Amino acid sequence: MKRDGSDFSAAIMGSLLRARQVTIWTDVDGVYSADPRKVSEAVILRTLSYQEAWEMSYFGANVLHPRTIMPVMRYDNLIRNVFNLSAPGTMICRPAENEDGQKLESPVRGFATIDNVALVNVEGTGMAGVPGTASAIFGAVKDVGANVIVISQASSEHSVCFAVPEKEVAAVAEALKSRFSEALNAGRLSQVAIIPNCSILAAVGQKMASTYGVSATLFNALAKANINVRAIAQGCSEYNVTAVIKREDCIRALRAVHSRFYLSKTTIAMGIIGPGLIGATLLDQLRDQAAVLKEDFNIDLRVMGITGSRTMLLNDVGIDLSRWKELVKDQGEVADLEKFRQHVHENHFFPNTVLVDCTADSNVASCYHDWLRRGIHVITPNKKANSGPLDQYLKLRALQRQSYTHYFYEQLGTLSYIFNNFKGTRAFSNVVEEAKQAGYTEPDPRDDLSGTDVARKVIILARESGLKLDLSDIPVQNLVPEPLRACASAEEFMQQLPQFDNEMARARQEAEDAGDVLRYVGVVDAVSREGRVELRRYKKDHPFAQLSGSDNIIAFTTTRYKEQPLIVRGPGAGAQVTAGGIFSDILRLASYLGAPS
């Protein structure tokens, strides 16, 4: 007897004896929704129909051989673990009739894969409308004793594609080239092409036939995991949908589709770039919420790497965020951004990858295009990419719109805090120092006071409004005193800033005498197609004058909101707020990738 001969014998005996039930004792607890060695969250299926069991066993679910099912299709067939008698096992039986109030379950019962296959593509205009072409192709395959696993043919009859075991593909190719040598030489056939190193992924479920959108969901999950499908096949019964993919993508594909049909958690491999004030706060927020997200919302966020400018920490299964600072210190290695990207992204057990850039580094921002091209999602509060050279911005946005990758960014403010608190007799330098200590400014406050940061926000808003502007197009009122612009360090700047307090105090007093307040604003004028950044005075009843703390405000004056502008107001600076915005984008990404919302 060959493989599973004893199971087959038992099935025959059960059929001859007309047994009510045939129990197959094996070394696993039952039939899983996917190979548990590849998908750790795979679940044991309590019941399967005969058709579902047949399809899964054919496509690689090795717990049961297809031949075992045939003799006992009139009876129940139970698979149980001889080493775990408490496990209920999987009952293979006729599908139960639908009942009102029945618990909803996925139309896809399970997934199976076959590795080490190759695709054979026979293509040519001379095939269309010629009777017997398919017979000749598969007759040649039969003559060399090869087993065809999947067949896919274009409706135009221009090509026939099929999968065979990789060990048999050389003989198949040779037989086809010999059989069709005349057609190849005459140009009626253009090629007999071999695509090696493939795997087959099959989704199986009897309810797929009566459920709309199963194929759409399946291929959407593969696309979002950046997995290319080489060939597709589906039988008229619709009990399975089969896709041929690269072998190297097999595990990632299996986990992506298993997760998408709510059979397992939506798992995202994350890389955090820049564990400074914002990055560290985000890591703490992830630590505090990870367990709740995993247990209550089926979202598994794995931080696979943390990197600063000098040191990085990598882990194959996820960093323990309760002691990440200690781990960076003890196990950190020299930072290498490309190695970091490869580590986070190229782990085949995690179908989705996001890199979170918490820096203000233009060199990191310049990598976004390459990351998106590779299928890596990007989330960032870094304004450099969206406010950089216009041609690079347009290229980045075009790539993001054409792909299944997502690019989310946060834009928060600093100078609102300074001018909201620059009142009474307070010195301007004291307010700036307070904002710096609270983490509201860049490490060098000149980056904020120069107006460049606000100008970047103006550029981003203008571009999102359809205006094609560059930073050089924005006139900016620089609040850094001229003598201090060349200071060697932020520390030197802060030491000398009090010398210029009187100048800002005079501007504040003049505004107060007129019943106004000072506000540093950015303006986007869509009509004149321009933007500007300047220090303005507003009456105390104006919405901009009502701000407090670190609140930001945006006023939209449009055709519909002309007499009374639309006002959007809220916290606009600080590590907790910025990190919270990034965290929100991470959850939004998880929702797009299939997590329940």
CA triple 533-379-364, angle to 5 deg: 75
**Distance in angstroms (rounded) separating the CA atoms of residues 543 and 453:** 22
Q: Which two tokens stand for residue 7?
A: 């199971």
**Distance in angstroms (rounded) separating the CA atoms of residues 27 and 7:** 13
- The amino acid at 440: Y
DSSP letter (8 states) at residue 430: H
**Distance in angstroms (rounded) separating the CA atoms of residues 441 and 418:** 9
**Distance in angstroms (rounded) separating the CA atoms of residues 507 and 432:** 16
* CA nearest neighbour of 584 among 381, 400, 385: 381
What element of type H or E holds 266? Answer: strand 266-273
**Distance in angstroms (rounded) separating the CA atoms of residues 466 and 449:** 27
Helix H, strand E, coil C: the string for 120-143 is EEEECHHHCCCCCHHHHHHHHHHH
**Distance in angstroms (rounded) separating the CA atoms of residues 267 and 219:** 18
Please identify which of the residues 325, 457, 539, 562 carries the catalytic annotation. 457
Q: Which two tokens stand for residue 458?
A: 């103006």
Q: Percentage helix, strand, coil, to 5, in the chain?
A: 40, 25, 35
Q: Which distant-in-sequence residues (6+ apart) come within 8 Å of 264 by Cβ?
A: 39, 41, 42, 43, 255, 258, 298
Please, how many CA atoms are within 13 Å of residue 144, restricted to the half-sphere of its CB?
A: 23
246 is catalytic: no
Q: Which distant-in-sequence residues (6+ apart) come within 8 Å of 308 by Cβ?
A: 274, 275, 276, 328, 335
Q: Which residues of 413-427 are buried (b: 16+ CB within 10 A; e: fewer)?
A: bbbbbbbbbbeeeee
**Distance in angstroms (rounded) separating the CA atoms of residues 27 and 372:** 44
Tokens 């966020």: give the residue: 301
- Is-contact 28 62, C-beta < 8 A? no
Longest dimension (CA), the chain: 105
For the chain, the residue count is 597
CA 251, chain centre distance (Å): 16
**Distance in angstroms (rounded) separating the CA atoms of residues 450 and 33:** 59
Over its C-alpha atoms, the chain yields an Rg (Å, rounded) of: 32
Tokens 């299964």: give the residue: 317
Kindly give the residue spans of alpha helices, DSSP state H, lying in 303-451.
Answer: 324-331, 337-345, 362-365, 368-373, 384-387, 390-402, 415-421, 428-437, 446-449
Q: Which residues are catalytic?
A: 457
